Amino acid sequence: LLDISWFTESMHSGHPVQILDRHRLQEEEQSDSEAAVFTMPSYACQRRTTMDNKNPILTDALSLLAENAELSNQDGRGVAFRRAAAVLKALPEAVTSMKQLKGLPCLGGHSQRVIKDILENGASDEVQSLRQSERYQALKVLTGIFGVGAKTADRWIRDGIHTLQQLRESGHTLTRTQQAGLEHYEDLNMPVSKAEADDISKIVEVVVDSVLPGSQVALTGGFRRGKQTGHDVDFLITHPEEGKEEGLMTKVVSLLDSKGFLLYQQMTRNSYVESEDAPALASFHMDRFERCFSIFKLPKDREESLKQLGSLYPKPAGGVCDGRAGEVLHRETSQSQGSHSEVQEEVKEPKSWRAIRVDLVVSPFSQFAFAQLGWTGSKLFERELRRWAGQEKRMSLNSHALYDSKQGKYLQATSEEEIFTHLGLEFIPPSERNA
């Protein structure tokens, strides 16, 4: 059931093929008769979706429609387009004909029209004109500011604000987050590379280890799924002795700050209490970990990061920590020095650092597997896991726990594999959760 199966179909549908070139028409008929009809299970968490997307033109178009719906506060339509895009991302081959799609779930009439347009004409007029529309472009620019959501952007657009310049001149009062977002707009809208994420990992590891030796720092989010770029870097922090993680975030953030690594930070406390967070409540799906939304100031020169870490690196002799994270940073620094300075010369970037969005989350050890599963994503994969749990298993899943309504109890887990087993799903590794 879980594998994407496909079989060849020899039936002709008799629909006219709108391609004028006779040679291509013949080819098309031939390939149509041989083209595989795809099938797949309907929940994204039952499918394996790698980064190797065979249908990027179709999925980009559907993702743009999804994004536009989300930015217009039409979440239902947004999810429908996301589900359609996710189905195409999981296909083993490029789609060549509409007939191949008739066994697939989640492809509504609107999505099918868009796919048909692209297969027949190479592009969708609807998507093209949306991409060029003033409103969509303004929504993109304004929600590109860290701290600005769809509702705020919509209000500003109704006030005639479409650009950053207009926003700056408007005299609108901005929150502290939005001020930071506007100040670092260019950097924050430049994709974060895996190399940058690794540099930040090492800094966070050294700092966390010096605050609480034995803590574990895990890179999560898109980078854990094998993405080569992301819009931010997500970390999950825990300590094997339950309770030791309490108060860790404040210390880590203040040490990062004192070492000059933070341009902005906003912490939220852990407010999860199992007995108060009934699965029946809508708030059950909220994340309640100790969390920090930050803007990291990453030196472009790794030597500079080491200097900033100062006495934390290498750890003083006789310290509790073994300095492992520091050694890793040092080794990679000496290896990559040459190429790094070359890149700097080429780009002639006067700024010696770059602003990067970093999310830190601290989880108690007993909830770590749930936190890992909940923070690895993709967003649609997470949504589908929760939908599967509720609709198919009468269970409630969030980033802290799994509750079984039939048995009336919480199900414990120490690994992601165990959670998939509780849910009656085949284990899908992070690299195949790119729905």
SS3 string, 263-311, reads EEEEEECCCCCCCCCCCCCHHHHCCCCEEEEEEEEEECCHHHHHHHHHH
User: For residues 119 and 419, which CB has a smaller minimum distance to ligand DCT in the complex?
Assistant: 419
Residue 237 backbone phi and psi in degrees, to 5:
-120, 135
Decide if residue 245 touches Mg ion (CB under 5 A): no
First to last CA, the chain: 18
Decide if residue 430 touches ligand DCT (CB under 6 A): no
Work out what residue 388 binds among ligand DCT, Mg ion, none; the CB cut-off runs from 5 to 8 Å by kind. Answer: none
CA distances to 162, 167, 177, 266 from 170, rounded to whole Å, are: 11, 5, 18, 26
**Stretch of 3-11, 35-43, 223-231, 365-373 contacting ligand DCT, by CB under 6 A:** 223-231
Decide if residue 378 touches ligand DCT (CB under 6 A): yes
Rounded CA-CA distance 173/266 in Å is: 19
Question: By rule CB under 6 A, what count of residues binds ligand DCT?
Answer: 12
353-362/290-299 β-pairing:
antiparallel
User: For residues 187 and 382, which CB has a smaller minimum distance to ligand DCT in the complex?
Assistant: 382
Decide if residue 187 touches ligand DCT (CB under 6 A): no
Residue 206 backbone phi and psi in degrees, to 5:
-60, -45
* Annotation says 359 is catalytic: yes
**Stretch of 163-171, 222-230, 277-285, 313-321 contacting ligand DCT, by CB under 6 A:** 222-230
Work out what residue 375 binds among ligand DCT, Mg ion, none; the CB cut-off runs from 5 to 8 Å by kind. Answer: ligand DCT
**Taking the complex as a whole, how short is the minimal distance between the CB of residue 403 and ligand DCT, in angstroms?**
18
**Taking the complex as a whole, how short is the minimal distance between the CB of residue 408 and ligand DCT, in angstroms?**
26
User: For residues 222 and 364, which CB has a smaller minimum distance to ligand DCT in the complex?
Assistant: 222
Could you please report the per-residue DSSP string of 338-368? HHHHHHHHHHT---SEEEEEEEEEE--GGGH
Question: Which residue number is nearest to Mg ion in terms of Cβ?
Answer: 221
Catalytic residue among 60, 198, 359, 404: 359
* Annotation says 117 is catalytic: no
Q: Which amino acid is at 72?
A: S
Work out what residue 377 binds among Mg ion, ligand DCT, none; the CB cut-off runs from 5 to 8 Å by kind. Answer: ligand DCT
Q: Which of 12, 15, 113, 379 lies at the binding interface for ligand DCT (CB under 6 A)?
A: 379
* Annotation says 234 is catalytic: yes
**Taking the complex as a whole, how short is the minimal distance between the CB of residue 75 and Mg ion, in angstroms?**
20
Sheet holding 233-238, edge to edge: 216-220, 233-238, 353-362, 290-299, 262-268
DSSP 217: E
User: For residue 248, what are the β-bridge partners?
Assistant: none
User: For residues 32 and 196, which CB has a smaller minimum distance to Mg ion in the complex?
Assistant: 196
Work out what residue 251 binds among ligand DCT, Mg ion, none; the CB cut-off runs from 5 to 8 Å by kind. Answer: none
Q: Which of residues 204-233 bind Mg ion (CB under 5 A)?
A: 221-222, 230, 232
CA distances to 26, 46, 251, 389 from 241, rounded to whole Å, are: 68, 34, 17, 29
Catalytic residue among 234, 277, 301, 404: 234
Catalytic residue among 154, 232, 301, 322: 232
Decide if residue 288 touches ligand DCT (CB under 6 A): no
Contact 65, 1 (CB under 8 A): no
Residue numbers of the site for Mg ion (CB under 5 A)? Answer: 221-222, 230, 232, 234
Q: Catalytic site residues?
A: 232, 234, 359
